[in-house]
């Protein structure tokens, strides 16, 4: 890149390069100063704040990198968009039922998030979905609106059902979604013991198949849901127990992050057939619950890839409402309340992982002398002359020769025919040759398959101050792609191609798949590091699942967390701050006692004093440093 290209680069070009407007959902953009900004919906306008300004505020409050940043405004906005989109679809289609959302707590169980959802969703009667006793207890404690639903999914023991029945007595609309035949008998037994009628739902195993990461969880091989035979048995058991009047909800779940709207519509149409037949059996159904599946556009392609979707929230709502109305009107049935358990679409946008770059590993050759040094081994000479002959007309041949002679030199080294310095010289020549070939690749009419991945193999490695396993577990476990980009210097043209490594001592601790406007790429465009300046990257759309699924690989604990609210005048409120795990915290998670560890270290230091290896003052310094480290952050501290 020459100086002219660097000077002519604009923030708009950076926005296009990283696809911000495509995956950002209107919440993120690049300002004229070259900084990523958060655009919070306001009264008809969007108020923008640069992430670098937020980082300044975090550091002033003692929150070092890495930080998980949550933006309260976006939680509010996502709930509003979902509820208003369904309201508009219901109005325009003449649908006679209502909409009720239920956020699945498992998607993000953090108290601040769930409390925000309950608070912002209260005006829409937005409820919660609980898949365990612990999550049900959360729902019972945070929901204030008795019109909001608590949908109980998952396997239920006696205690789970008793908790739900107590919620019914308190006025909650708590619905037991039956997953197995055993559950219906337990619900019947416990409801009689508590003398309260339950609200019952049934989860169906539909035959509709979907695309995406979770495709195998749909169709006949789905892990969850009742078969048609089991559904009939449950209806008969409820009728016999004189509780068929309690069967009010039909539930199905096609899978998470469904990319194709046609699959969603097909699932709704299939569920309607069950709904119609269940009403004919005498079940007074009032709700139809679509479960989750509403996808977000992680890569900005608006496609049916596993990282995207080919529809908007508005289209999703319209298709669902139209499909239900079409089927039920044909049988003159009342329109039920539509329930969805959209989790990813509610909270993914609301969180950003921010971290700094600690170092960079380059695959650049060192200086190559103009003349071949004397007395070089024959194979090194061959490598030297191969470099001199590289040209665009025979790049494949040149590549073959460079690799061949490099391997010959390595064999000579193993046999003791080449010394350490000569091998280092040859390795540098090889790297120089490969970089020459990469530079000429754009001039080829057709790049040979063997050379297509060469740029990736020579890309830089940027070492980030974070743990993939703690903060981005889905990128490792299921190859989920998240948008990653620099959050500043975006009015400069990025000149490096790189992958990103984390702090863990693990070859899987890396990011090497990136979202872009043209689809997934294996490297990311980044800027050269400036001496003495921090370089910050952001990983976006990480609000769903990542926090709870994270693990303690290498004992890197929870990061610092901050929640901010952007005011209408552009000012910031830091409404929630949580310092990440200390070393003592993570040691206790794996059953170490930090106090015992300190005592043992003190004994070792005292013994060293007695043995004359250290002085008393050195002992004191060591104990102080050890104690301070126990209280310190598990991540890199400058």
Span of 29-33, 148-152, 257-261, 306-310 with lowest mean pLDDT: 306-310
pTM over 0.75: yes
pLDDT band, residue 211 (cuts 50/70/90): confident
Share of the chain above pLDDT 70, in %: 97
Task: Please determine, for residue 73, whether its predicted confidence score (pLDDT) is greater than 60.
Answer: yes
Statement: residue 59 has pLDDT above 80? yes
Residue 111 vs residue 224, higher pLDDT? 111
Structure confidence by residue, pLDDT tens digits, 378-388? 999 999 999 99
Q: How confident is the model at residue 548 (pLDDT cuts 50, 70, 90)?
A: confident
pLDDT band at 77 (very low <50, low <70, confident <90, very high): very high
Between CA 462 and CA 534 the distance in angstroms is 13
Give the pLDDT mean for 206-235: 80
Residue 503 has pLDDT above 70, yes or no: yes
What pLDDT shows up at residue 216?
65
> What's the pLDDT score for residue 519?
74
pLDDT at 218 over 80: no
The answer, yes or no, to whether residue 3 has pLDDT greater than 60, is no
According to the model, what pLDDT value does residue 291 have?
Answer: 95
Q: Please determine, for residue 283, whether its predicted confidence score (pLDDT) is greater than 80.
A: yes
What gap in Å lies between CA 371 and CA 610, rounded to an integer? 61
According to the model, what pLDDT value does residue 518 have?
75
Asked if residue 405 lies in contact with residue 433, where contact means CB atoms within 8 angstroms, the answer is no
Of the listed ranges 112-126, 160-174, 208-222, 375-389, the one predicted with least confidence: 208-222
Q: Write down the mean pLDDT value for the chain.
A: 94
Closest CA to 78 of 326, 337, 340: 340
pLDDT of residue 227: 93
Q: Is 283 helix (H, G, I), strand (E, B) or coil?
A: coil
**Tell me, what's the pLDDT at 69?**
97
CA distances from 529 to 447, 462, 532, 598 (A): 31, 10, 9, 39
Q: What is the mean pLDDT of residues 529-557?
A: 94
Where do the DSSP E strands lie in 454-613? 460-464, 484-486, 496-501, 510-511, 524-526, 536-540, 560-566, 572-578
Check residue 61 and give its pLDDT: 94
| pLDDT (0 to 100) of residue 5 | 54
Q: What's the confidence (pLDDT) of residue 28?
A: 96
More confident residue, 516 or 561: 561
Please give the share of the chain, as a percent, with pLDDT higher than 90: 88
Q: How confident is the model at residue 222 (pLDDT cuts 50, 70, 90)?
A: low
Whether the predicted pLDDT of 2 surpasses 90? no
* pLDDT over 90 at 520, yes or no: no
Query: What pLDDT is stored for residue 7 in this prediction?
Result: 63
Q: Which range among 75-89, 110-124, 250-264, 508-522 shows the weakest confidence by mean pLDDT?
A: 508-522
pLDDT at residue number 528: 97
Strand 496-501 versus strand 524-526 pairing type: antiparallel
* Closest to 278 (Cα-Cα) out of 243, 247, 300, 255: 247
In this structure, of 172-186, 213-227, 375-389, the range with the lowest mean pLDDT score is 213-227
């Amino acid at each position: 890149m020459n100086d002219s290209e660097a000077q002519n680069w604009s923030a708009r070009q950076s926005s296009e390069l990283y696809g911000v407007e495509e995956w950002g959902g209107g919440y993120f953009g690049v300002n004229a100063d070259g900084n990523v900004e958060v655009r919070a919906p306001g009264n008809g306008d969007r108020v923008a704040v640069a992430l670098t300004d937020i980082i300044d505020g975090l550091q002033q409050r003692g929150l070092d990198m890495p930080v998980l940043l949550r933006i309260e405004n976006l939680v509010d906005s996502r709930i509003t968009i979902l509820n208003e989109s369904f309201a508009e679809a219901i109005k325009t289609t003449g649908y006679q039922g209502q909409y009720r959302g239920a956020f699945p707590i498992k998607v993000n169980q953090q108290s601040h998030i769930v409390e925000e959802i309950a608070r912002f969703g209260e005006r829409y009667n937005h409820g919660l979905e609980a898949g365990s006793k612990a999550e049900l207890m959360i729902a019972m404690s945070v929901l204030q609106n008795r019109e909001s639903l608590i949908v109980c999914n998952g396997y239920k023991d006696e205690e789970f059902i008793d908790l739900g029945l107590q919620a019914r007595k308190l006025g909650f609309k708590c619905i037991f979604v039956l997953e197995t035949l055993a559950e219906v008998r337990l619900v019947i037994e416990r409801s009689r013991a508590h003398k309260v009628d339950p609200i019952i739902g049934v989860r169906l195993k539909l035959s509709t198949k979907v695309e995406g990461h979770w495709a195998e969880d749909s169709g006949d091989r789905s892990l969850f849901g009742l078969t048609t035979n089991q559904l009939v048995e449950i209806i008969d058991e409820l009728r016999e127990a004189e509780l068929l009047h309690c069967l009010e909800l039909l539930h199905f779940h096609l899978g998470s992050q469904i990319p194709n709207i046609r699959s969603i519509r097909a699932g709704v149409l299939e569920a309607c057939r069950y709904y119609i037949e269940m009403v004919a059996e005498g079940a007074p159904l009032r709700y139809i619950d679509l479960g989750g599946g509403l996808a977000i556009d992680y890569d900005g392609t608006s496609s049916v890839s596993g990282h995207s979707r080919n529809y908007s929230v508005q289209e999703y709502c319209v298709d669902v409402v139209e499909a239900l109305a079409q089927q039920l009107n044909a049988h003159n049935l009342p329109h039920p309340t539509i329930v969805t358990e959209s989790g990813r679409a509610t909270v993914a946008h609301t969180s950003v992982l921010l971290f700094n770059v600690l170092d960079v590993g380059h695959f650049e050759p060192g200086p190559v002398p103009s003349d071949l040094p004397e007395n070089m081994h024959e194979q090194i000479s061959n490598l030297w002359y191969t470099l001199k002959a590289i040209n665009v007309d025979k790049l494949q041949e040149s590549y073959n020769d460079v690799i061949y002679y490099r391997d010959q030199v390595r064999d000579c080294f193993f046999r003791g025919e080449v010394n350490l310095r000569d091998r280092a010289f040859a390795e540098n020549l090889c790297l120089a040759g490969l970089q020459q070939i990469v530079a000429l690749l754009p001039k080829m009419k057709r790049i040979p398959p063997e050379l297509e991945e060469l740029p990736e193999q020579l890309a830089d490695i940027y070492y980030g101050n974070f743990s993939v396993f703690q903060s981005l577990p889905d990128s490792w476990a299921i190859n989920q792609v998240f948008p990653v980009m620099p959050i500043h210097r975006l009015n400069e043209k990025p000149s490096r191609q790189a992958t990103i490594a984390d702090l863990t001592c693990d070859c899987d601790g890396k990011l090497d798949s990136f979202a872009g406007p043209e689809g997934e790429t294996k490297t990311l465009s980044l800027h050269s590091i400036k001496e003495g300046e921090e370089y910050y990257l952001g990983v976006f759309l990480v609000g769903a699942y990542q926090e709870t699924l994270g693990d303690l690989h290498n004992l890197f604990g929870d990061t610092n967390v901050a929640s901010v609210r952007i005011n209408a005048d552009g000012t910031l409120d830091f409404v929630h701050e949580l310092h990440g795990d200390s070393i003592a915290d993570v040691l206790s998670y794996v059953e170490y006692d930090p106090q015992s560890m300190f005592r043992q270290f003190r004994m070792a230091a005292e013994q060293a004093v007695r043995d004359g290896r250290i002085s008393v003052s050195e002992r004191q310094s060591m104990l102080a440093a050890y104690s301070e480290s126990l209280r310190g952050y598990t991540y890199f501290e400058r």
